[in-house]
Amino acid sequence: AAAEVHTGFNYGAYWRDNNRAKTKADFVRQFTLAKNLPNTPVPFDTARLFTSIQWGSTATTQKHIEAFDAAVETSTKLLLGFWAPDEQLLDKEIEALRRGFDAHGARLADLVIGLSVGNEDMYRFARNDTIEGDTTEGMQNRVESARAKIAKSTFAHFMKDKPIGHTDIQDYAADIKGFDFVGLNTYPYYSEMAIENANESFFNTLAEVEQKAGDTPVWVGETGWPFSGIAMGSAAPSAENMQRYWTEVGCHLFGKYNTFWFQLEKDSPDEADWGLVDTASQKPRINDLSCPSPEEPVP
Catalytic residue among 66, 93, 210, 222: 222
In three-state secondary structure terms, 55 is: coil
Helix residue spans in 165-299 (DSSP H) = 198-213, 239-245, 251-253
Q: Which of 174, 114, 169 is nearest to 140 (CA)?
A: 174
**Rounded-to-integer distance, Cα 95 and Cα 195, Å:** 43
**Rounded-to-integer distance, Cα 203 and Cα 190, Å:** 15
Contact (Cβ atoms closer than 8 angstroms) between residue 252 and residue 8? no
Catalytic residue among 120, 210, 248, 265: 120
Q: Give the burial string for 94-123 (b: 16+ CB within 10 Å, else e).
A: bbbbbbbbeebeeebbebbbbbbbbbbbbb
**Rounded-to-integer distance, Cα 95 and Cα 124, Å:** 25
Asked if 192 is an active-site residue, the reply is no
Asked if 222 is an active-site residue, the reply is yes
**Rounded-to-integer distance, Cα 159 and Cα 166, Å:** 16
**Rounded-to-integer distance, Cα 125 and Cα 136, Å:** 9
Indicate the DSSP class of residue 157: G
- Active-site residues: which are they? 120, 222
